[in-house]
Amino acid sequence: MSRSRPFRSPAAPFDVHADDGVRLTGHRLGRGRDALVFAHGFLGRHRKPRLVAFQEALARRFTVYGFDFRGHGGSGGESSFGTYEHLDVDAVVRRARADGFDRVVTLGGSMGGIAVIRQAALRGGADAVVSVSAPATWQGHRSAAVRRLTVATRTEMGRGLLRAAGARVAHPWPAAEDPVDVVGRIAPVPVVIVHGRDDHYFDVEQAWMLYRAAGEPKRLLLSSRFGHAEDGFSAAFAERIHRTLETLPSPRHVPPRAAR
């Protein structure tokens, strides 16, 4: 399992329950005017050292709600690699609303990037969405990294190794719409699609597919020497996200959609 480290700045623990009953654990940190729900990737956890550092950087501008997805860290349930994780994001978005925030941004990497797209498209309630290193489709990826992950999820031994690495995975993984088929429903909420040109999981065409399918307002950020998801999470990237969000319009809050 990945190591954890405490936050250097004050952080308050919280628990929420997704609509299907899964209990999620997390921390709130920072004193920004706007809330940011941070969604980690597969095999991550919100107290993984690199992710702690990134959340602390985000907390210079936002009040950050970091949490463990289902099947990861201190949360319950099993991971579905994005099929049901939008329920987790939705529960934390609602927690931020209940805490009094008028503007809530969601930011997720890889599996978290899928989850924030699906939450905004299927549930709504976020005021801006940042999806990093997310695939546009579930199938058709030829990278060695994706092949290894796929093989691991299909065997009992592989799932045991994933548990040892920090993820309890559902078997079989439940099906869902491709992210590219739902991203257009996010509009008029702003969406930012971020991808590394040297991503070793998903090629850059996945970002272009999402961007082309998204409605306005939208931005596409392609970066060299970024890698996949948390590989590019740094203080400089946190500041770039803040600047990008400031250039996007802030529509009046779009109410949540009917539960899906």
Q: Which residue ranges make up each domain of the chain?
A: 11-247
Q: Over the stretch 67-78, which tens digit does the pLDDT of each residue have?
A: 999 999 999 999
Report yes or no: 48 and 2 within 8 Å, Cβ to Cβ. Answer: yes
Write down the pLDDT at residue 233.
96
Is 90 exceeded by the pLDDT of residue 170?
Answer: no
Residue with tokens 């329950």: 17
Q: Say if CB 25 and CB 74 are below 8 A apart.
A: yes
What's the pLDDT at 153? 79
Across residues 82-93, what is the average pLDDT?
A: 97
- Give the model's pLDDT for residue 117: 98
Residue bearing the bigger pLDDT, 173 or 20: 20
pLDDT at 213 over 80: yes
CATH of 11-247, one of 3.40.50.2000, 3.30.930.10, 3.40.190.10, 3.40.50.1820: 3.40.50.1820
Q: Is the pLDDT of residue 260 over 70?
A: no
Does 60 score more than 70 pLDDT? yes
Residue 9: pLDDT above 90? Answer: no
Tokens representing 6?
């405490």
